[in-house]
Structure 1
């Protein structure tokens, strides 16, 4: 009896449709993704075993470097623009639409109010050089007039309807008196719940 020959079938698979879908997804993520702006200062945070993560939005971040300089940041471009409007109204300062756009792109800043307009007029390289010798946001718990951190905090909580999470990102070598001033400023505004940002380390076995 003769053998029955099974017809060979082609193993060719048309990948055109899948390739189109892959490029569409890639294009979507490229257009929809918002990259986080570069922070004005880099700090070496202490380590801990805490696994609590901060939310992606509505975060007020107070950064303290090893030289005792304070940098202030608020997540969300629209929140930052509204924050600047409130500060401008409170301190009777006028900011142009371009300056508001520039401020909306800042992750954080360590600039006294009397230098903020000139800071916003700088290009990226000039700001980077400025940040290396910036004075930081003034925070003197004994003199309310010079405690600009208090004003930024009040208005940031106002634009977020007091729902923002407050986080302190301090360098491991930061001066304790400055940390104490920050905490005193928070407590004076009845902001008694806040987080410390740390590096993750392995929990003890």
Structure 2
């Protein structure tokens, strides 16, 4: 007696719903992601086992490279605009709307205040190259008013909720980092974080 052959049928799976879910998830992550701002110099942070997270908003980041150049970032565009206007009043400088927009679009503050107007007149791509040559003056001998202190004081007066974070390269000499911390201590800004790379906790600890 011959066996009855069952005709095979192709299985059809409708993937439309899966595609819709994928697009929705992708859109969600794109809208909620926090993009890391570009930095004027590359910094490799030291490793640490600390897991204390820095807030996502209202953060002032002070960047220190191995040569001791200092740059500062404010995460809120409105804060940056107000800080620039305040700096202009303190130093008797007038900024055009174009210069203000340029300042807001540039992620980091990193030139002497005396050069600020000419710096902001440059195209954005040229600013990225020029800023690497300067940094905010922090030496009280060269710059009697210590311009880092001016920027920090002005920014914290504009936004009292700012969290201060220091991000230094792992090869930056401690003396250069201490110089920045001393400036903060002189301003009575004793609460700040050090940005590090998370490493695994040693076994048995």
| Superposed pair shares fold, TM > 0.5 | yes
Distance 1:204 1:155, change over 3 A: same
Give per-residue Cα distances to partners, 1:5-45, cap 9 Å, x unaligned. xxxxx9775948x8678667766776786744311121121
After superposing the two structures, state which structure 1 stretch, 142-151 or 78-87, moved more: 142-151
Task: Provide the rounded CA distance (Å) in 2 between the counterparts of 1:44 and 1:14.
Answer: 44
Q: C-alpha displacement at 1:167, in angstroms?
A: 0.8
Name the counterpart of 2:147.
148
Indicate whether 1:174 and 2:163 are aligned.
Answer: no
Name the counterpart of 2:64.
64
Structure 2's unaligned 5+ residue stretches are 1-10
SS of the equivalent of 2:109 reads coil
Does structure 2 retain, via aligned residues, the 8 Å contact 1:36–1:107?
A: no
Indicate whether 1:139 and 2:134 are aligned.
Answer: no
Task: Provide the rounded CA distance (Å) in 2 between the counterparts of 1:34 and 1:195.
Answer: 19
Name the counterpart of 1:185.
183
Structure 1's unaligned 5+ residue stretches are 1-9
* 1:38-49 paired onto structure 2 within 5 Å: 38-49=38-49
Task: Provide the rounded CA distance (Å) in 2 between the counterparts of 1:90 and 1:38.
Answer: 28
Task: Provide the rounded CA distance (Å) in 1 between the counterparts of 2:191 and 2:32.
Answer: 33
* 1:72-151 paired onto structure 2 within 5 Å: 72-132=72-132, 134-141=133-140, 145-151=144-150
TM-score (normalised: structure 1) = 0.81
CA RMSD of aligned residues (A): 2.7
Task: Provide the rounded CA distance (Å) in 1 between the counterparts of 2:53 and 2:29.
Answer: 24
